[in-house]
Structure 1
């Protein structure tokens, strides 16, 4: 109590002006709605407390940023001060926080991993070299869906999108499929979804660190178990590839694993096996379910808007040709398809909150954000703000046809992949996936059976014949 009093007096003397926000009682009263409809509920609270809102639970202070101008302050003006990530307790499973590009603070190791991603894994040269691997996965998906159509079988687009995304990633990373068929839920889907769910499940330990030794919800134990299952698959796969590379007649696969092992062999600061496993865990978890969700929701929007579907089909027919495959190199010639993807990312951002952590006390728009506070950029509210977007809740790709607004982190009303130094390094691969999959889906002459778009932020399944 004395410590709290002294801190309060110190704050008054230093002119500390924390952002407004709901009381703990208000948070408790709204807890059910925050769990069921977090984005809509936070948007309602934002209308009461403003675009910089403070949540205080236990020992954790969370600042929610819900306007374009304040987002720019965090992501550009004060990017260095907010360049660290929130330290979730589940991220300590298998010491993942010590190797993870996602959870590491800005440090020499983080800079090394970031450089490897930019210069090697997601460079234009690397993606071009591995394009044939992704093309094969895309053609296989198209063949499976066509066969289901001929057999008059229902295809769950959510499962198909997940299979395509995880196999795109696994084939790009190690020239291997992790899921065999559209109907195969598989161990990998369960592993990825479980890890994602535990990361985003409110954890008492994050608010009350003294509970860490008890792990009362079992989230860290659960995460450790599922990461272990993935590592048990990756370990022999990496060992096998290392053994193959020692043979004289080895021919490179031009995949990410070969690139990482090549870096390890020629560098004094080796990219060792432990780092490779944790990097692939980051790519797999961050790049599959979120991408599949964006793909599914964009497809759903197009299916519910026949005029948009007609325009996409017309563009594809005139530019690519009827019955021809969409290649990654074709995307530059398909402005309407690109606009559809941007609009899908606007309305359904794959990760609706961008988490940052304040490295020091920072004044933002007249309010003091304290050191150690978790800062969330509320992309969901920003991308649906009627003061920024005309007809904000209407799916309208046309808004991007005569606009220079892009998704590469320079326009703060649309940052699906983040911005600044913590921007998602894999966004070029994600965009390729979204463009090609939506182009192929729009070109399929299939009868559609689509559920209503009820909750735009929920991961509903989409069915098509």
Structure 2
């Protein structure tokens, strides 16, 4: 038998290799397919099916396509998680793979993403920032030391002005809200506007070539609000530094700014005033917005359900008697109050959708999640999942009275502060502030709705934003309670 030419053998071998690669890849793709989802239209994908409030639109689609779903928005693949079971698999199996977030172009204003504990990738700077927050800013020892600052402001109760000043005193030992003016509402509007802009769909996030021209002006708009807040921080920091440098009788504060300025002196090579300002921007916005929105949702539900308001008042009165001032140490003895906050988080999570970005392919429930896809975990849908919660759309704090579910990231039915390596660093402070402020508002005031409105008339609609906010602010009249 005549031998085949070497060149022909090489050509056959090359052809076999190409066929093997092609069919191997095809077979692999078929066996590791994307999760189910709606038909994706050319160019736009599913963009026009996501009108209105995003978490509601995604929840509606997931009822058809299941708790793990794939969609496409313009040129970007998105994987949607809408059940605690799938969320648990995602977070427990792949938390170590999750290293970064896709940074919205808007938060690149003033290079904020290069300093931000929220947006930095999981590098050494990010780890150092989280360590600083955990060990220096939000440790039990530090929060106990600053308790007096929060306590003093709660005594001056004036609804949302109190929230502004509880937050600002914890950070700066200073009042940002004044009881005779609209300054607290102004600050709320600045932060609300900034978060609303960040939440807007931005073409620059889908087509990187457009970032240089910022076609919708979103980065320019966010710069306006970031500049306002950074200027406030600049003035406070400058004044504090002058006091520290010039006064021999300087009295140290127990606030977060004092800790950050200590670090700028001790670690000059790795920590700067610029670092401090951007960390304050992250933490102050998060603390202020989470606290105001959650307290507002909780009060709205209590005013819609007066029997639950009365139950909370009775519990507080039985625990602290006729004492006017509630202390942080009282909170653990108020299980119904704790249940009210959990139920508020279930129905109105501060961040309704968590985003994740994986730099390698991962597999969930036998489906492929391709690298660089955006994974969105719909906390709003998980909190209203009828297979997990009875009467999921009703405000029923009692469901948590005999439940071990907490908000610390261990129970995937309730993740208001996220979970894993990216869990909210400010959670210890947020929990203290929320419970203290809400308990004080319930205990010290009787409340009635404006203009004779009936409880069922309270508007509970939401508006677009990074955090979950009421579209129509609650309008209620506080009447000083008789002790």
TM-score by length of 2: 0.86
Q: Give the structure 2 partner of residue 291 of structure 1.
A: 291
Q: Give the structure 2 partner of residue 59 of structure 1.
A: 75
Q: Give the structure 2 partner of residue 452 of structure 1.
A: 458
1:312 aligns with 2:337: no
- Pick the structure with greater CA Rg: 2
Q: Give the structure 1 partner of residue 419 of structure 2.
A: 419
The 8 Å contact of residues 263 and 270 in structure 1, kept in 2 or not, is answered as no
Q: Distance in 2 between matches of 1:125 and 1:185?
A: 29
Write the mapping of 1:20-31 to structure 2, written as runs, cut at 5 A: 20-25=36-41
Gap change, CA 1:301 and 1:187, over 3 Å in 2? closer
Q: Distance in 1 between matches of 2:74 and 2:102?
A: 15
- Structure 1 unmatched ranges of 5 or more: 1-6, 145-159
Q: Distance in 2 between matches of 1:253 and 1:111?
A: 26
- Quote the offset at 1:74 in angstroms: 2.0
Q: Distance in 1 between matches of 2:35 and 2:51?
A: 23
The 8 Å contact of residues 190 and 225 in structure 2, kept in 1 or not, is answered as yes
- Quote the offset at 1:53 in angstroms: 1.5
The 8 Å contact of residues 38 and 46 in structure 2, kept in 1 or not, is answered as no
- Quote the offset at 1:402 in angstroms: 1.0
Aligned with 1:43 (options 46, 59, 79) = 59
Deviation readout 1:294-316 (Å, 9 max, x if unpaired): 11111111111122112111111
Q: Give the structure 1 partner of residue 322 of structure 2.
A: 322
- Quote the offset at 1:251 in angstroms: 1.5
Q: Give the structure 2 partner of residue 12 of structure 1.
A: 26
Q: Give the structure 2 partner of residue 189 of structure 1.
A: 188
Q: Give the structure 2 partner of residue 116 of structure 1.
A: 132
TM-score by length of 1: 0.89
The 8 Å contact of residues 191 and 227 in structure 1, kept in 2 or not, is answered as no
Gap change, CA 1:67 and 1:219, over 3 Å in 2? same
The 8 Å contact of residues 360 and 372 in structure 2, kept in 1 or not, is answered as yes
Q: Distance in 2 between matches of 1:222 and 1:441?
A: 35
The 8 Å contact of residues 74 and 82 in structure 1, kept in 2 or not, is answered as no
Q: CA RMSD in A?
A: 2.3
1:372 aligns with 2:382: no
- Quote the offset at 1:458 in angstroms: 5.0
User: Which range is displaced more, 343-352 or 236-245?
Assistant: 236-245
1:172 aligns with 2:170: yes
User: Which range is displaced more, 177-186 or 68-77?
Assistant: 177-186
Show structure 1 runs of 4+ deviating over 4 A.
7-11, 26-33
Aligned with 2:473 (options 430, 452, 461) = 461
Q: SS in structure 2 opposite 1:288?
A: helix
Q: Distance in 1 between matches of 2:22 and 2:407?
A: 42
The 8 Å contact of residues 129 and 254 in structure 1, kept in 2 or not, is answered as yes
Q: Distance in 2 between matches of 1:94 and 1:33?
A: 34
1:231 aligns with 2:245: no
Gap change, CA 1:176 and 1:51, over 3 Å in 2? same
Q: Distance in 1 between matches of 2:227 and 2:25?
A: 45
How many positions carry a matched residue from both structures?
A: 441
Q: Distance in 2 between matches of 1:258 and 1:11?
A: 58
The 8 Å contact of residues 243 and 250 in structure 2, kept in 1 or not, is answered as yes
Q: Give the structure 2 partner of residue 131 of structure 1.
A: 147
